[in-house]
Chains A and B, each alone.
Chain A
């Protein structure tokens, strides 16, 4: 996996630069010295269900990934882009009907019981497949998990399932939870969903709602010499200005997921002792997408969609809204996913004249007030950038004679309006690319998805050829052939524009320079932090 090249001059590029920084004054954590110390991190949300086996979202992983581990984690240099965690090897059968995992030996749960293949089988069959938001897709055809011995788990599928997909999905979908805690209980309401029990380098110690989560060192961790830290504290800071202030006041060490607003990075990067790091999100690419409701007759016309694509100045979006911390998109697969990315697709350079011509051609002439037709535009409220892009898009559309009215709604209302009630013409959404197009990307354009599924095609778009391609990919075992299908997929999506991909971005971490080994894997913020340390 290639690192994305979005960092700016001032941003830290390598760990060595970090080491070269001058030492900073002692922190208020003073009390414990010697072995590792306490790392304090800003958290902006408090997930109600913290179990990553059920809720595979970044907000949950950010905290839970230190306690509960997946079978494998993403890595910059590992084989196939993976590092071993609870599994030490994985092998697919020729027919694509089974995958065999060898599991790590001598691993203990935080309550002292031994970790075995039974836990993996239980997690897969009882949680990932039936309950998890992403596992439902990846393990749709999982029939059974055989456990010939305590350290072997054989996943058996009813229909051929590509190993490539399983491999790419492992870091996200394969968090293993203890069978002895969950078996026989109502999984959804088990107290262990918030008071986590895992095998990871840190134990879940304490949660004070509205204040903090506290994780403590797991002395029995299987990794030699790990973890390095004694404690991690996730401090809840709901206000966006809070993280930057707390970093500067030396009350916290680190703020991930762009908790420090992009517009404040330039200033904070000049504060002594603070580093701005753009690495570590390569496998967590977010995409800025214009979702289109094809039920509107104007938008059902390809020429209109092309016109809208031509009306968007991606350079402005990257430079002004993302302040350079993003890349322009060419299609539904981001550049950072080099395994699948195909640059050879239809592109839509910024060209207002051409956009106007296309709209004229489509038969939507400008009225006497310069307006061709009016639209309802709903920018998703989740990120500052999606809202700002909403402002920009309104103006870009005005330039080609489309009058857009912005509708602001909070998260729940936006969700309902777009994904259940289809009460939108255009929407701005931030879907996530999760390492393989089959996990959460094809669902954005596939037809036949029932109403109410968030982050899916709810725009009424239907393309039989595209649907067939997606179906074919799901059963293609050969990685190369499967990759080729997804290249085809990108060509069709960019030509027919079921949605418009505008930009793709990773997040920014801002940390004090005493924190060591930051961003050393492509999912760093949501990985286990076993080697993260504090310089004393």
Chain B
């Protein structure tokens, strides 16, 4: 599976117009054919495609992600450098989207078709339909430029000399806007899934039974309906983690956060095949990891899952 990812990405960049040396010469402001030739030789770009793919795969088998032409550094270093920022941004945004999405979903789903439900659903739909870059720009103008409550960009105050708790607080402050922009969009999806899942659960027999027992409405909502409706949400979380990693490209660019999204963009513009494969591979691994974790969570939430894994 991961091999398919690697080979496809490799072939994609091979079919590109312009290679890493073209991009590199451009960043140098020019050069001539002789320089280009010697650069291509030193990076092995003059060999055939199959030879290079083989070379790359065999080094990958030794867990070596290769060398980035555009950055002149090992790919693994670059990825490790950016990974914490990405994890932080993704983790917080997911937590926000999931937390807010489920709670609002519960609020909306508690009384299906009520006014609260309609207002919450409509608002979430609007948030979902706003392009992420526009939301990001507007948030930054309002909260960073006009109100000056929050920093406009970056992951932390530059060379602040802060450490420990002060540094953590500083990073948290910088993350509020990007996490907000990214989280709010995906929140809408979670909210809507939660709400419709709850609507399904309301129809089930055991809810009617709980009602008949005379349990209070809020108790039914939280203990019975919401809990059971959470299951499809957990499944969706796994699927959305890949989408969110993609969505971060735009947000990272607007808020100048050095994470995977921006690195990937630079890898593409620099035609840096090993780097792009490294990023996509790492993202894919992350997604797989998240899904494994979620399977565990799923098993905890729903004791029925375990022995018989669904094929689909």
Contacts and interface: CB of A to CB of B under 8 A. Distances in A.
A and B touch in the complex (CB under 8 A): yes
Interface of A: 28, 31, 40, 45, 47-49, 54-60, 131, 133-134, 136, 189, 194, 206, 208-212, 214, 231, 233, 235-239, 241-242, 245-246, 248-249, 251, 409-417, 420-421, 440, 450-456
A421 B17 CA distance: 10
B30 interface: yes
A242 B271 contact: no
Given A241-B137, A251-B152, A233 B158 contact: yes
B72 interface: yes
Range, interface on chain B: 35 or more
A19 B122 CA distance: 53
Contacts of A237: 153, 256
Contact of B153 (A31, A47, A242): A242
B220 interface: no
B148 A249 contact: yes
Contacts of A212: 158-159
A249 B22 contact: no
A450 B32 contact: yes
Nearest to B28: A55
B253 A411 contact: no
Nearest to B36: A452
A415 B18 contact: yes
Interface in B12-50: 16-19, 22-33, 35-36
B28 A49 contact: yes
Nearest to B20: A412
A413 B18 contact: yes
Contacts of B72: 48-49, 189, 194
Contacts, number: 151
Given A49-B28, A209-B258, A245 B269 contact: no
Contacts of B152: 242, 245-246, 249, 251
Interface stretch (B139-147, B225-233, B239-247, B288-296): B139-147
A189 B257 CA distance: 28
Given A40-B158, A212-B159, A416-B17, A48 B24 contact: yes
Instruction: Name the residue in B29, B253, B262 with the highest tally of chain A Cβ atoms < 10 Å from its Cβ.
Output: B29
B33 A249 contact: no
A236 B70 contact: no
18 contacts: A48-B27, A49-B28, A49-B72, A60-B29, A136-B32, A210-B258, A211-B258, A237-B256, A238-B256, A241-B137, A245-B153, A251-B151, A411-B26, A420-B22, A440-B30, A450-B32, A454-B29, A455-B29
Instruction: Name the residue in B19, B33, B152, B158 with the highest tally of chain A Cβ atoms < 10 Å from its Cβ.
Output: B158
3 A-B pairs closest in CB distance: A210-B258, A57-B29, A412-B18
B154 interface: yes
Given A55-B28, A241-B254, A417-B17, A412 B159 contact: no
Given A248-B145, A249-B148, A133 B253 contact: no
B224 interface: no
B82 interface: yes
A412 B17 contact: yes
Given A233-B158, A251-B151, A412-B271, A59 B27 contact: yes
Contacts of A60: 29
A428 to B, nearest CB: 16
Contacts of B81: 209
A47 B33 contact: no
Nearest to B270: A412
Contact of B22 (A48, A210, A233, A415): A415
Given A133-B29, A415-B25, 5 more contacts: A212-B158, A233-B159, A236-B256, A248-B145, A455-B30
B71 interface: yes
A49 B26 CA distance: 12
Contacts of A133: 28-31
B151 A249 contact: yes
B37 to A, nearest CB: 9
A59 B29 CA distance: 9
B155 interface: yes
Contacts of A238: 253, 256, 262
A403 to B, nearest CB: 23
B145 A245 contact: yes
Nearest to B158: A212
Given A210-B262, A242-B256, A412 B148 contact: no
Nearest to B24: A48
Interface string B58-96: 000000000000111000001001100000000000000
Nearest to B160: A31
B43 to A, nearest CB: 11
A57 to B, nearest CB: 3
Nearest to B72: A48
Interface string B184-208: 0000000000000000000000000
Contacts of A412: 16-19, 22-23, 26, 269-271
